[in-house]
Amino acid sequence: MNQDINFLIPSVPQSPKWWRNIVMYQIYPRSFKDSNGDGIGDLQGIIDSLDYLNGSSNSLGIGAIWLSPVYPSPMFDHGYDVSDYRNIDPSFGTLTIFNRLIEAAHQHSIRVIMDLVANHTSDQHPWFIKSRASRNNSLRDWYVWRDPAPDGGPPNNWLSYFGGSAWTLDKTTNQYYLHKFAPQQPDLNNWNPKVNQALVDIMHFWLKRGVDGFRMDVVDRLLFDPTFKDAPCNLAYKKNVDPQVKKFDFSKTYYQPEVHQIIAVFRRVLDLYDAVGIGEVEARSIDFIQRFYDHGRGVQLPFDFLLLKTPWEAKKIGAHLKMYEKKLPRSSWPMYVLGNHDKERLADRIGKHNLKLAALMLLTLHGTPMMYYGDEIGLASMPLSKDKWQDAYTKNTKSDWTRDYSRGPMQWNSSKYVGFSTHVPWLPPNEFKNEQNVQEQEKGPNSILHLYKSLIKLRNNHRSLSEGTFELIYDGSEGVIGYLRSFRTEKMLILLNFTSTIKQLRLKHKGLLGTVIMRTHTHNNPQDLVCTIHLKPKEGCILKLEKN
Ligand code: GLC
Ligand code: CA
In a domain, 383, yes or no: yes
Residue 393 CA: which ligand 1 atom is closest?
Answer: 10
In a shared domain, residues 215 and 316: yes
pLDDT of residue 3: 37
Q: How far is CA 113 from CA 152, 226, 499, 528, in A?
A: 44, 32, 37, 42
b/e burial code for range 349-358 (CB count within 10 A of at least 16 → b): bbeeebbbbb
Separation of 171 CA from ligand 2 center, angstroms? 37
Helices marked H in 32-183 — which ranges?
A: 43-48, 50-53, 95-107, 126-133
Give residue 288's domain range: 18-121+192-223+259-453
In a domain, 307, yes or no: yes
8/60: higher pLDDT: 60
Per-residue pLDDT band at 243 (split at 50, 70, 90): confident
In a domain, 459, yes or no: no
In a shared domain, residues 406 and 499: no
Per-residue pLDDT band at 493 (split at 50, 70, 90): very high
Please say if the pLDDT value at position 88 is more than 90.
yes
Taking the C-alpha atoms of residue 202 and residue 84, their distance in angstroms, rounded to an integer, is 10
Q: Looking at the CA of 122, which ligand is closest?
A: 1
In a domain, 234, yes or no: no
Separation of 102 CA from ligand 2 center, angstroms? 18
Q: How far is CA 218 from CA 80, 96, 118, 131, in A?
A: 11, 29, 8, 23
CA max distance for the chain: 80
Contacts of 254 (CB under 8 A, 6+ apart): 220, 221, 282
Q: Which of 398, 425, 453 is the last residue of a domain?
A: 453
* DSSP at 6: P
The domain spanning residue 520 has which CATH number? 2.60.40.1180
In a domain, 406, yes or no: yes
In a shared domain, residues 411 and 531: no
Q: Which of 391, 426, 453 is the last residue of a domain?
A: 453
Average pLDDT over residues 20-34: 98
Mean pLDDT, rounded, of the chain: 93
The model's pLDDT over 315-359, given as tens digits with 9 standing for 90+, comes to: 999 999 999 999 998 889 999 999 999 999 999 999 999 999 999
The domain spanning residue 420 has which CATH number? 3.20.20.80
Please say if the pLDDT value at position 4 is more than 70.
no
217 annotated active-site: yes
Separation of 31 CA from ligand 2 center, angstroms? 9
In a shared domain, residues 524 and 405: no
Q: How far is CA 176 from CA 80, 145, 180, 222, 263, in A?
A: 22, 6, 13, 19, 27
Q: Into how many domains does the chain fold?
A: 2
In a domain, 363, yes or no: yes
Q: How far is CA 392 from CA 52, 399, 440, in A?
A: 31, 12, 34
In a shared domain, residues 387 and 527: no
In a shared domain, residues 504 and 358: no
In a shared domain, residues 475 and 329: no
Nearest CA to ligand 1 atom 5: 80
In a domain, 135, yes or no: no
In a shared domain, residues 431 and 492: no
In a shared domain, residues 520 and 395: no
In a shared domain, residues 426 and 494: no
Taking the C-alpha atoms of residue 479 and residue 447, their distance in angstroms, rounded to an integer, is 25
Q: Evaluate: CB of 289 within 6 angstroms of ligand 1.
A: no
User: Quick one: which of 140, 139, 166 has its CA closest to 154?
Assistant: 166
Residue 326, number of CB atoms within 10 A of its CB: 9
Q: Looking at the CA of 26, which ligand is closest?
A: 1
Average pLDDT over residues 525-545: 83
Q: Evaluate: CB of 141 within 6 angstroms of ligand 1.
A: no
In a domain, 161, yes or no: no
CB 396 within 8 A of CB 361: no
Contacts of 394 (CB under 8 A, 6+ apart): 401, 402, 403, 404
In a shared domain, residues 199 and 274: yes
Per-residue pLDDT band at 237 (split at 50, 70, 90): confident
In a shared domain, residues 306 and 355: yes
